[in-house]
Structure 1
Amino acid sequence: MSTQQLPVVVIGAGPAGLAAAAHLTERGIEPLVLEAGDGAGAAVREWSHVRLFSTWGEVVDPAAEKLLAPTGWTRPDPATYPSGGDWADLYLQPLADVLGDRVRLGATVTGVSRAGRDRIVDADRETQPFVVHVEYADGREERVFARAVIDASGTWATPSPAGGSGLPALGEKAAADRITYRVPDLKDPAVRVRYAGKRTAVIGSGASAFTALAYLADLAKSDDGAGTKGVWILRRGISGSTFGGGEADQLPARGALGLAAKAAVDDGHADAVTGFRTEAIERDADGRLVLVGEDGRRLDAVDEVIVLTGFRPDLTFLDELRLGLDERLQAPVDLAPLIDPNQHSCGTVYPHGHRELSHPEQGIYLVGMKSYGRAPTFLAMTGYEQVRSVAAAIAGDLDSADRVELTLPETGVCGGAGLFDAPDTQQTNGGGCCAPAPQLIQLGAPATVAAAAEKAPAGGCCG
């Protein structure tokens, strides 16, 4: 079976997936985008209340903008910050509309393999097309043949648990009615009443945790929020890098997030508990939750828990493919050293493209947030450059594919996620580029928060 006339299947109609489709279309290659949700950017819409820390100028792909231009579409003010809802409504949905029937909704990919070849078969493997098993919302099943597969399904659906070992804490599942793994929308009256006047634990140390702390502090200062209190649970101690890059961050809104979290602690709206790794979540006699640490510490009871400890990739539907993934980060082996938070301190991610994203199974690429595996601090502009390079490689234009040029904003943060139990001094010294402990600045608008698509979960080196 010849593969050159087959489409390239793109899994996910989010920012990276739709950008991949735009680049493929520009090169005359037919894409087929399979989206499990009921609309473009379905995952983005789940955090529609969250404002990105990147501007419109940084979250619109150039090939996508070119595809949209004939429709009369114009990019919003490039200096302003969209919310997740803005991004989905004003950019992702129009882009999906332009792609038309190249985008299928309600289409969940449940497996990817080589036609007639399971994982262990070598014979003629690379000459066989990919076969993608799809289950539709109406119950239909289909197998789609493809010349290549670009997995841009992201990590939103698989948040990491509260447990310090990477496994759910004992009792975590039983306490699900009082735990959320998302930044709550406190403008929603039904959600607001859940947290108003309550004591809430926030587990995590990245931009999402900063956001939740800032939101809770704003609630505590409001007329209906008296008594609202945050308890910030950190696995490490507090150092100069804890609150991010502050004014040294070249993404000002990202820096402001950390400063807002610092203000929440300084102003008494949140207490910080350091060096705490959650082992169990128990209920007291009143039904409130008690967090128990690996060291035996038991914290005062809380009413709610917000777990923001990052995300991890779902690799189950790729089991029949031969992937080359780093054993720790679950990112492509050639990309992992460039993004490893145990190694990174300051600066930017080295520009990368199809070569770093390749696998022993030729023709399969994990892009966007999923390409980072469990590593944090992913930016949309990184994903756009990834898919540009991958589309060029699929088209056979290796000169363009290898010409990867990307300059990311520096964070001003040292230490990354740090070594497992590194003393705080190791988090603040030795980088030469690091800002001192950030000082509070006044935010001109409600706290600008980090979107999941600008991936910066807890423990991030740049988030």
Structure 2
Amino acid sequence: MLTTSTTSDPAVIIGAGPIGLAAAAHLYERDLPFIVLESGPAAGAAITGWGHTRLFSPWQHNLDSAAQRLLEASGWTAPDADTLPTGHELREQYLEPLAQLPQLAESIRYDARVTAVSRAGVDKTRTARREETPFLVRIETTDGHSEDVLASAVIDASGTWSTPNPLGQAGLLAPGERQALAAGRITPPLPDVQGRDRERVAGKRVMVTGTGHSAANTLLDLAELDAATTIIWAARTADLTRVYGGGEQDELAARGALGTRLRTLVDTGRIEVLTSFTITHFTGEDALTVHAVTPDGEREVSVDVLVPATGFRPELGMLSELRLSLDLAVEAPAQLGPLIDPEFHSCGSVEPHGERVLAHPEKNFYIVGMKSYGRAPTFLMATGYEQVRSIAAALAGDRDAADAVHLELPETGVCTTDLGGSCDAPAPAADACCSSPQLIELSAG
């Protein structure tokens, strides 16, 4: 017997990052019931992995409108609009106060990992009364128990931080990659090479892979360590021009400075570059031997540690019982895919989009935030805020507001990243002569 969805069933939001909490704020303003399910122990838990970094964009571009209204009504004062916050500051000064508001706090569950989303009593093959049947969201708690939650709608803002791309060719793990990870020869994404992880890299022979902002910033931070630290930059591409990017033409000045400083370090020889370098497998115990193919044939490079910065991909396994329409290439919602294809669009040239573009054949199910961009590396935080505003309006029956999407994004010539799908990945301060924290824009949905 099918269970019929009722208006009392809440909307379930997966993830209590910036986009997930923004969705909660907009649903609250629309007087719609909701539950936020966060796999970590606190709001923005994934940000702890890169909290040492600094955002590209100032506070004025990092606050959702509904969230800001709720916070200011409680007496909260927004940080200086022109200041660039670190990830830790984003959590401490914005996400944590937002999650602690009584309007949201009672509806947030922590340490609740979503493992599957389906329809109650209905698998993917069943059509009859499907849209009337509530969603079934299965969660796993830290003690290993499972629990099912019924929902009238599901907004997946879980991000991509937990599913990095493999280092091997053809989108696959390279032979020996798991063993190198287990041995600590391969670091997690975006290590804190000037702080927490300094001992792992200082004075060592370090290889950084990838051609996005995360790779660039790790390279920049490594270059500020002592001269005994040998830095190798390995890239699959033959041309690094796009990585060096827009320079002074970037409307986010901190982001534009990234390529200029990186090019200088390469030109002076501080960073050794290996282009057209495709990793095939790993060997070695005392040191890591990276095996690759290049235009000149096979090559072996021995390093002490490798820093991966090759991007992320969406985790879609938990959605396998839903009827989704995804772009074949980037795994974004099908209508969104062509709008964000990184071969044709920078993050500043992506068209505003809302509920209609994000909709799937599975009514009232949405993927938002960085996960909505799939494998495309062009996401901006402001984009996610407009996504969830439009979706909340649609769920409330306000079609005009849902369709009235407005978004002004800073154009850039350096819109390539590998940081969890976020286009505002780390960058250095505009003053290239001075040491500064990395700059990043969001890594959790």
Fold conserved between structures, TM > 0.5: yes
Whole-angstrom distance in 2 between the partners of 1:19 and 1:346:
20
- Asked whether the equivalents of residues 200 and 304 of structure 1 are also in contact (C-alpha less than 8 Å), the reply is yes
- Name the CA shift for 1:2/1:442 in 2 (closer, same or farther; >3 Å): closer
Matches within 5 A, 1:383-398: 383-398=384-399
| SS of match in other structure, 2:149 | strand
Query: C-alpha offsets along residues 71-108 of structure 1, whole Å, 9 cap, x if unaligned?
Result: 21111111011111110111111111111111100001
Whole-angstrom distance in 2 between the partners of 1:111 and 1:136:
13
Query: C-alpha offsets along residues 124-153 of structure 1, whole Å, 9 cap, x if unaligned?
Result: 101111111111123332211111000000
- Asked whether the equivalents of residues 381 and 441 of structure 2 are also in contact (C-alpha less than 8 Å), the reply is no
Matches within 5 A, 1:271-290: 271-283=272-284, 286-290=286-290
- Asked whether the equivalents of residues 202 and 213 of structure 1 are also in contact (C-alpha less than 8 Å), the reply is yes
Q: 1:39 aligns with which of 31, 36, 42?
A: 42
Q: Give the equivalent residue in structure 1 for 2:187.
A: 180
Matches within 5 A, 1:148-297: 148-176=153-181, 177-188=184-195, 191-219=197-225, 225-283=226-284, 286-293=286-293, 296-297=297-298
| SS of match in other structure, 1:6 | coil
The residue type equivalent to 1:292 in the other structure is A
Q: Structure 2: where are the runs of 5+ without partners?
A: 418-429
- Asked whether the equivalents of residues 355 and 394 of structure 2 are also in contact (C-alpha less than 8 Å), the reply is yes
Paired residues in the alignment total: 425
Mean Cα displacement is larger for which, 124-133 or 229-238?
229-238
The residue type equivalent to 2:221 in the other structure is Y
- Asked whether the equivalents of residues 224 and 435 of structure 2 are also in contact (C-alpha less than 8 Å), the reply is no
Matches within 5 A, 1:23-422: 23-98=26-101, 99-176=104-181, 177-188=184-195, 191-219=197-225, 225-283=226-284, 286-293=286-293, 296-344=297-345, 348-413=349-414
| SS of match in other structure, 2:164 | coil
- Asked whether the equivalents of residues 169 and 280 of structure 1 are also in contact (C-alpha less than 8 Å), the reply is yes
- Asked whether the equivalents of residues 17 and 444 of structure 2 are also in contact (C-alpha less than 8 Å), the reply is no
| SS of match in other structure, 1:182 | coil
After superposing on structure 2, the runs of 4+ consecutive aligned residues of structure 1 that deviate more than 3 Å are none
Whole-angstrom distance in 1 between the partners of 2:32 and 2:57:
30
| SS of match in other structure, 1:298 | strand
Shift of 1:186: 2.3
Shift of 1:345: 6.1
Whole-angstrom distance in 1 between the partners of 2:283 and 2:149:
47
Whole-angstrom distance in 2 between the partners of 1:110 and 1:165:
27
Whole-angstrom distance in 2 between the partners of 1:384 and 1:232:
35
| SS of match in other structure, 1:279 | strand
Superposition RMSD on alpha carbons, in Å?
1.9
TM superposition score normalised by structure 1: 0.88
Query: C-alpha offsets along residues 353-372 of structure 1, whole Å, 9 cap, x if unaligned?
Result: 01110001011000000000
- Name the CA shift for 1:325/1:109 in 2 (closer, same or farther; >3 Å): same
- Name the CA shift for 1:346/1:50 in 2 (closer, same or farther; >3 Å): closer
Mean Cα displacement is larger for which, 273-282 or 386-395?
273-282
Mean Cα displacement is larger for which, 383-392 or 405-414?
405-414
Whole-angstrom distance in 1 between the partners of 2:352 and 2:342:
16
| SS of match in other structure, 1:92 | helix
Shift of 1:264: 2.5
- Asked whether the equivalents of residues 210 and 260 of structure 1 are also in contact (C-alpha less than 8 Å), the reply is no
The residue type equivalent to 1:205 in the other structure is T
Whole-angstrom distance in 2 between the partners of 1:128 and 1:144:
13
Whole-angstrom distance in 2 between the partners of 1:77 and 1:444:
23
Query: C-alpha offsets along residues 16-50 of structure 1, whole Å, 9 cap, x if unaligned?
Result: 00000000000001110000000000001211111
- Name the CA shift for 1:160/1:11 in 2 (closer, same or farther; >3 Å): same
- Name the CA shift for 1:11/1:23 in 2 (closer, same or farther; >3 Å): same
Shift of 1:333: 0.4
- Name the CA shift for 1:153/1:454 in 2 (closer, same or farther; >3 Å): closer
Mean Cα displacement is larger for which, 197-206 or 291-300?
291-300
Whole-angstrom distance in 2 between the partners of 1:297 and 1:364:
47
Whole-angstrom distance in 2 between the partners of 1:349 and 1:443:
33
Whole-angstrom distance in 1 between the partners of 2:152 and 2:70:
23
Q: Give the equivalent residue in structure 1 for 2:19.
A: 16
Shift of 1:263: 2.7
The residue type equivalent to 1:180 in the other structure is T
- Name the CA shift for 1:147/1:345 in 2 (closer, same or farther; >3 Å): closer
The residue type equivalent to 1:97 in the other structure is Q
| SS of match in other structure, 1:170 | coil
Shift of 1:192: 0.8
TM superposition score normalised by structure 2: 0.91
| SS of match in other structure, 2:243 | coil
Whole-angstrom distance in 1 between the partners of 2:397 and 2:359:
14
Whole-angstrom distance in 1 between the partners of 2:161 and 2:218:
17
Mean Cα displacement is larger for which, 255-264 or 15-24?
255-264
Whole-angstrom distance in 1 between the partners of 2:235 and 2:287:
24
Whole-angstrom distance in 1 between the partners of 2:121 and 2:91:
38
Q: Give the equivalent residue in structure 2 for 1:433.
A: none
- Asked whether the equivalents of residues 18 and 444 of structure 2 are also in contact (C-alpha less than 8 Å), the reply is no
The residue type equivalent to 1:14 in the other structure is G
Whole-angstrom distance in 1 between the partners of 2:202 and 2:408:
42
